[in-house]
Amino acid sequence: MRVTPTAVREEHAWVRDRADVVVPLCNDTRDRLGELFDTEVDRIDRATYREEVDVVFADGEVAVNVAGYVRLLRGLDVADDYPGFVVDEVLGRELAATIAGGQPLSLLAQATFHLVDVHVDGDVTAAGAGTAGADDLDAALAAGFQTRLPGWDWRAAESPFAVSPDGDD
């Protein structure tokens, strides 16, 4: 696989066009997590998702890595799937983390990836036309974007752990 600027632009367009699949997965995940943690989480719409895809791909260092993971998962297939399930899980988890950003969001996205993945059916999403990586790709996109996008109360407020530069806490 060769990742070029053209390839990154192609993957950007492909990820952007996944809004009809990824946004419902994001919202379903937010509903599940909200129920688990007894909180309300704002829903994501397709326009917000597409705008955030643009933000992710505007950072060249992030864009090339996201495009590489997407290309790998889109083409990944393993005979009988199960013996190779680890590679698609690792790629999916890393894609979710890369999309989400630095710590702690990347760790949250990796954990969320597994929650989303068990609720995604590759036959329904058809991201890779039935390949082993298809469901993991959609799960990773949903986990990464739902994590990085606003809507969580704990992210709306200033952290009580922040230290001011002048020492006044």
Question: Is the entire prediction scored with pTM above 0.75?
Answer: yes
Query: pLDDT tens across 41-94, in order?
Result: 999 999 999 999 999 999 999 999 999 999 999 988 777 666 667 888 999 999
> Cα 23 from chain centroid?
11
Q: What angle do CA 93, 104, 87 make, to 5 degrees?
A: 10
**CB count in 10 Å sphere of residue 2:** 6
Residue 1 has pLDDT above 60, yes or no: yes
Q: Which residue has the tokens 């990796």?
A: 110
Band of pLDDT at residue 168, cut at 50, 70 and 90: low
Token digits of residue 92? 């999916």
Give the separation between CA 100 and CA 145, rounded to whole angstroms.
6
